[in-house]
Amino acid sequence: MKNYLYHPAADRGQADFGWLKSAHSFSFGHWYNPEKTRFGLLRVLNDDQVAPAQGFGTHPHDNMEIVSIPLLGDLEHRDSMGNQTIIRRHDVQIMSAGTGVQHSEYNYSKTDPVHFLQIWVFPKNRDITPRYDQLSFLPEERHNRFQTIVSPEGEGVHINQDAWFSLGRFEAGQMATYAIQKAGNGVYAFVLDGTVRIDGHELQRRDALGISGGNTLDLSFSTDSEVLLLEVPMD
């Protein structure tokens, strides 16, 4: 039997620090909702907008899988492992914090904002040696189908967890089926744009639906749409 958890966009936590505007799907920072602390092992999904030449100064992490997905603009990353990179649209970056790492993230542009998703997942193995991965993906490979961007092995950037992230862009009138990669996993579906129906539940831009207890998802698209599926262990 499937279970569904609906998170409308308007119910997300909001933060506005001037240089940073963020919407939190789960409790984060000064915003706490006891009913929204995580979905399975998915701990954070932040929808961040950073002003030109601004960003997050050097700060520590440990034992967390941290994924960044730019939606608009370029993000500059530096860390204590010696990585200094620019993460651009259609790139996906992951940092396995493991035993501990320090990093900073800044808007690379002096004139335009950067908009990106910051996602945290609890790791499968704790206290591993920190590692970094970044790949660029062809957007045409997610046209009317799902493209795997994160996985524990094979496609996409490597994550220290039995988790799979998939992006898809679909034209109005299209339908799709997503098969769960590992028995017992759930999927947190986050609509980036458009109108998506998942197992009969209609979602609009930035709405989310957590689905657990099934083997497949049936999706249909009444407008041109983009959706991110985050498949994670439930415990």
Q: What is the pLDDT of residue 205?
A: 98
Q: What is the pLDDT of residue 116?
A: 98
Q: What is the pLDDT of residue 151?
A: 98
Q: What is the pLDDT of residue 154?
A: 87
Domains and CATH numbers, the chain: 12-136 (2.60.120.10), 139-233 (2.60.120.10)
* Confidence at 10, pLDDT banded by 50, 70, 90: very high
pTM over 0.85: yes
Q: What percent of the chain has pLDDT over 90?
A: 99
Q: Residues 222-228: what's their mean pLDDT?
A: 98
Q: What is the mean pLDDT of the chain?
A: 97
Q: φ, ψ for residue 79 (rounded to 5)?
A: -145, 170
Produce one character per residue of 202-227: b if its CB has 16 or more CB atoms within 10 Å, e if not.
ebeebbbbbbbebeebebbbeeebbb
Q: φ, ψ for residue 141 (rounded to 5)?
A: -80, 0
CA atoms within a 13 Å half-sphere pointing along the CA-CB vector of 65: 24
Instruction: Write the pLDDT tens digit of every residue in 85-134.
Output: 999 999 999 999 999 999 999 999 999 999 999 999 999 999 999 999 99
Q: What is the pLDDT of residue 168?
A: 98
